[in-house]
Chains A and B, each alone.
Chain A
Amino acid sequence: MAKKQTRRSFLKTALAGGVAAGTANLTLMRDLYAQASGPIVIGHHCDLTGVISSWGYWHDKAAKAAVEIINQGGGIAGRRVELATEDTESNPASGARKLRNLIERSNAEFVVGSVHSGVMLSAIPIASELKTIYFSTGEATEATGAKGTRYSFRTGTDTYSIAAASMPWCVENFGKVWSIIYADYAWGQSTNQESKHFIEKAGGKTLASIPVPLDTKDFVPYLAQIPPETEVLLPAFIGSLSVAFYTQAKTMGLDKKMKMFSSSASIESIAPDDIQGAAEGVYFFENFPRMLKAKDDEYHREFIKRVGIDDVHAREVGSQRVMDKSHGWQAWEDIFAIKQAIEASGYKTRKDVEGVIKALEGMEMKNSIGHPQGDKLIRKEDHCGIIDCYISRVEGGKLEVKKRIPKEELAKNMPLRHNLSQLPV
């Protein structure tokens, strides 16, 4: 039976409802206010554990150092920056879950992304679905190519730009007959495909492309497949696979028969000294020279000081860890890129994200404390970083720069293949 409504019960209900509505309104207003003038939360999708954790350590350190500098200087548009970090476990499935946590639970408004290509590629659809800008730090070109969206950006290089920057010089100086031996997953396959294309474009040819499964311990079956006529070998491995490759290739005397050239990823977080000369004489692509003397300026020196590394091997002061210097800087610089774009666009809340995207598209960044790697540009159409690149050789256990490729030359060698700026927000 329905309860009879009396004047007293009506007043009681109305009063309670009014109080509740008022409170709710106050809460909503407070949240809106907080979003517009409280701290800006930047998420860090960081590979702290798992297979690529030796790199993730440095991304974490660099991002924290960048946020500290920004907050000491008054934050972003007068708002303090909070860094929310989630560990991807270097695993695409975990990474996808952790990215949702970052955006939906920690309220990250922008995300500095993973350096693991698999994690990064699985993250971009989620970041795009949640309308959050995601900076890739890994090298698989698809992140700002075939699988890119309006929300995916990068300040560093990818397999496409590495091949475009380095192959013309390498083919001319090392030889025209190449073979490629690569780790059989997203990054290795992408490296093989892009390198092959640019070797041929530069007038060279690729005799063999040899995929190596990720669980390989013994390289002899793969090394035996390298054609003896090969003049230049391009190995594309990271971490322990890379160390095992150089160890076994050196033992078999491959370095005496052919030149070797590889991406910085193959020697990241590894000091050539630590692998007992296995990489001696090998050429590596770099985008932020490991040795200070190759780009000796106040910003590079300050970067080295802030992340706590030496100026020869990029080794952590007081430990044996070596920075992944050609990747780790992006965690630092991406935060400064976000700052510049927020301040240029007048961003206040999430609804203003389109303005930040437009500010990032074609944005130029000057050599500064925020961008110690050097002057750079995020190309408007494909959201790629256009930066100075370097080719170095391991000599006496140190990476000595042999060739600098200016960013203008990279841009010229790297025609547009995708136009992400025309995709909907």
Chain B
Amino acid sequence: MMDTILLLALNGLIWGLIIALIALGLSIIFGLLDIINVAHGDFFMVGTVLTWYVLQETGLFWPAFILVPVIGFVLGALIQRSIIQPIRNAAALSIVATFGLSLILQELVRMIFGATPRRILPPIQGTIPIFGIEYEIYRILAAALSVAALIAFFLFLQYTKIGTWMRAVRHDRETAIAMGIPAQRIFILTFGIGFALAAFGGVVAAPITTVDFRGGVDLLPFCFMAVIIGGLGNLPGTAAAAILLALLEGVIQSFADPTVARISSLVLMSAVLMLRPQGLFRGLAK
């Protein structure tokens, strides 16, 4: 029993790190642009599909870790300019606009890539015995890559000029503009980074899950829970909440039905909304 608890806790932690990447993208888009991005799961899905194409074209998996986030960034920037920018002063429209975007992305991928799910082999194969089962080595690499990406993102946000501008615009948009910060460029950049983070999550997760045109649909509710529990727009809080949620579900799944584990997450989210609407990790916000 103890082995199962430890295994599922470890697995939850690893999965949580991947989810944290995706939820972080959702959170920066909301925090800076006030956009509730219903298409964010599809950004992840596009990441998995692009990974599949990179693998097909080059025969190599590793280039996807660079190419896919770059393509994701460009796509994100284009989407911000063409879809989000025109409705920037009517945030309520963002749900409708991004829902439409979600349908467009899914149907485009279905048309081009097809409706049949595909499998990608991990770049590192093999297993190691952990807590009574053969555990995939790639998952440990995936967790390490996710940690590296999270650290890189927070370092970028903390120590670069653009990162400082992003934080400034999020903190006080009018003052930042008055100080000469090019807010419009920051908006484009932020949306691009949000897409790139989700796409990077897609690259990391593709060999674990599948490549499928609806692959992002089921991921979105979990990411939203992480954003709400972590605190809307609170980036470190979001990452911490994603890890906490996945860990919590992992531990509960070791002795109860997985549905009970998901109900527990929803109960936690409801409790946070009622008792601490600013999020569980307010202290982490800067």
Indicate if B190 sits at the interface (CB-CB under 8 A). no
Most central of A240, A243, A244, A320 by chain B CB within 10 Å: A240
- Which residues from A are CB-within-8-Å of B117? 54, 239-240, 242-244, 270
Contacts A51-B214, A224-B8 given; does A322 touch B127 at CB 8 Å: no
Min CB–CB distance A321 → chain B (angstroms)? 6
Report the separation of the CA atoms of residues A252 and B215 in the bound assembly, to the nearest whole angstrom. Answer: 22
Q: Is the CB of B7 within 8 A of A214?
A: no
Q: What's the count of A-B pairs with C-beta under 8 Å? A: 107
Q: Which residue of B lies closest to A52 (CB)?
A: B115
Most central of A213, A242, A247, A321 by chain B CB within 10 Å: A247
Indicate if B95 sits at the interface (CB-CB under 8 A). no
Indicate if A248 sits at the interface (CB-CB under 8 A). yes
Report the separation of the CA atoms of residues A359 and B67 in the bound assembly, to the nearest whole angstrom. Answer: 61
Report the separation of the CA atoms of residues A253 and B134 in the bound assembly, to the nearest whole angstrom. Answer: 7
Indicate if B114 sits at the interface (CB-CB under 8 A). yes
Min CB–CB distance A57 → chain B (angstroms)? 7
Chain A 371-409 near chain B by CB (<8 Å), digits 1 or 0? 000000000000000000000000000000000000000
Within the complex, which residue of A216, A221, A222, A320 is in contact with B116, where a contact is CB–CB below 8 Å? A320
Indicate if A275 sits at the interface (CB-CB under 8 A). yes
Report the separation of the CA atoms of residues A223 and B132 in the bound assembly, to the nearest whole angstrom. Answer: 12
Min CB–CB distance A257 → chain B (angstroms)? 9
| Interface members, chain B 258-285 (any A CB < 8 Å) | 258-259, 261-262
Q: Is the CB of B107 within 8 A of A240?
A: no
Q: Is the CB of A248 within 8 A of B208?
A: yes
Indicate if A217 sits at the interface (CB-CB under 8 A). yes
Min CB–CB distance A239 → chain B (angstroms)? 6
| Interface members, chain B 127-172 (any A CB < 8 Å) | 127, 133-136
Q: Is the CB of A322 within 8 A of B116?
A: yes
Within the complex, which residue of A51, A184, A278 is in contact with B119, where a contact is CB–CB below 8 Å? A278
| Interface members, chain A 177-221 (any B CB < 8 Å) | 184, 211-218, 220-221
Contacts A53-B110, A253-B127 given; does A243 touch B210 at CB 8 Å: yes
Q: Is the CB of A221 within 8 A of B258?
A: yes
Indicate if B173 sits at the interface (CB-CB under 8 A). no
Q: Is the CB of B133 within 8 A of A252?
A: yes
Q: Is the CB of B118 within 8 A of A274?
A: yes
Chain A 21-56 near chain B by CB (<8 Å), digits 1 or 0? 000000000000000000000000000010101100
Within the complex, which residue of A217, A243, A248, A270 is in contact with B219, where a contact is CB–CB below 8 Å? A217
Q: Is the CB of A239 within 8 A of B212?
A: yes
Q: Is the CB of B15 within 8 A of A218?
A: yes
Report the separation of the CA atoms of residues A54 and B109 in the bound assembly, to the nearest whole angstrom. Answer: 13
| Interface members, chain B 222-281 (any A CB < 8 Å) | 222, 249-250, 253-254, 257-259, 261-262
Most central of B110, B215, B218 by chain A CB within 10 Å: B218
Q: Is the CB of B11 within 8 A of A220?
A: yes
Indicate if B85 sits at the interface (CB-CB under 8 A). no
Contacts A49-B110, A54-B115, A213-B258 given; does A221 touch B253 at CB 8 Å: yes
- Which residues from A are CB-within-8-Å of B254? 221, 224
Within the complex, which residue of B11, B116, B135, B215 is in contact with A54, where a contact is CB–CB below 8 Å? B116
Indicate if A269 sits at the interface (CB-CB under 8 A). yes
Q: Is the CB of A221 within 8 A of B214?
A: no
Indicate if A5 sits at the interface (CB-CB under 8 A). no
Within the complex, which residue of A213, A252, A269 is in contact with B259, where a contact is CB–CB below 8 Å? A213
- Which residues from A are CB-within-8-Å of B218? 214-217
Number of interface residues of B (CB under 8 A): 42
Min CB–CB distance B1 → chain A (angstroms)? 11
Q: Is the CB of A274 within 8 A of B119?
A: yes
Indicate if B33 sits at the interface (CB-CB under 8 A). no
Q: Which residue of B lies closest to A215 (CB)?
A: B218
Q: Which residue of A lies closest to B113 (CB)?
A: A320
Report the separation of the CA atoms of residues A355 and B214 in the bound assembly, to the nearest whole angstrom. Answer: 44
Report the separation of the CA atoms of residues A320 and B254 in the bound assembly, to the nearest whole angstrom. Answer: 40
Indicate if A173 sits at the interface (CB-CB under 8 A). no
- Which residues from B are CB-within-8-Å of A216? 218, 258
Contacts A252-B134, A252-B136 given; does A53 touch B115 at CB 8 Å: yes
Indicate if B221 sits at the interface (CB-CB under 8 A). yes
Min CB–CB distance B216 → chain A (angstroms)? 10
Indicate if B205 sits at the interface (CB-CB under 8 A). yes
Q: Is the CB of A247 within 8 A of B210?
A: yes
Indicate if A6 sits at the interface (CB-CB under 8 A). no
Q: Is the CB of A269 within 8 A of B258?
A: no
Chain A 260-278 near chain B by CB (<8 Å), digits 1 or 0? 0000000001100011101
Q: Which residue of B lies closest to A322 (CB)?
A: B116
Indicate if A13 sits at the interface (CB-CB under 8 A). no
Report the separation of the CA atoms of residues A222 and B4 in the bound assembly, to the nearest whole angstrom. Answer: 11
| Interface members, chain B 19-56 (any A CB < 8 Å) | none
Indicate if A72 sits at the interface (CB-CB under 8 A). no
Indicate if B121 sits at the interface (CB-CB under 8 A). yes
Indicate if A9 sits at the interface (CB-CB under 8 A). no
- Which residues from B are CB-within-8-Å of A222? 258
Contacts A218-B208, A322-B116 given; does A213 touch B133 at CB 8 Å: no
| Interface members, chain A 234-292 (any B CB < 8 Å) | 239-240, 242-244, 246-248, 251-253, 269-270, 274-276, 278
Report the separation of the CA atoms of residues A220 and B18 in the bound assembly, to the nearest whole angstrom. Answer: 15
Q: Is the CB of B258 within 8 A of A215?
A: no
Indicate if B184 sits at the interface (CB-CB under 8 A). no
Min CB–CB distance A161 → chain B (angstroms)? 26
Report the separation of the CA atoms of residues A51 and B106 in the bound assembly, to the nearest whole angstrom. Answer: 11
Indicate if B89 sits at the interface (CB-CB under 8 A). no
Contacts A213-B262, A244-B210 given; does A221 touch B11 at CB 8 Å: yes
Indicate if B175 sits at the interface (CB-CB under 8 A). no
Given contacts A244-B117, A247-B209, A270-B116, 10 further A-B contacts (CB under 8 A): A215-B219, A220-B11, A223-B133, A239-B117, A243-B118, A252-B127, A252-B133, A252-B136, A278-B119, A320-B114
Q: Which residues of A contact B (CB under 8 A)?
A: 49, 51, 53-54, 57, 184, 211-218, 220-224, 239-240, 242-244, 246-248, 251-253, 269-270, 274-276, 278, 320-322
- A-B pairs with the 9 shortest C-beta distances? A215-B218, A54-B115, A240-B117, A240-B212, A221-B253, A275-B119, A243-B210, A53-B115, A243-B117
Can you report 5 residue pairs joining A to B where beta carbons are below 8 Å apart?
Answer: A54-B116, A218-B209, A240-B212, A240-B214, A251-B127
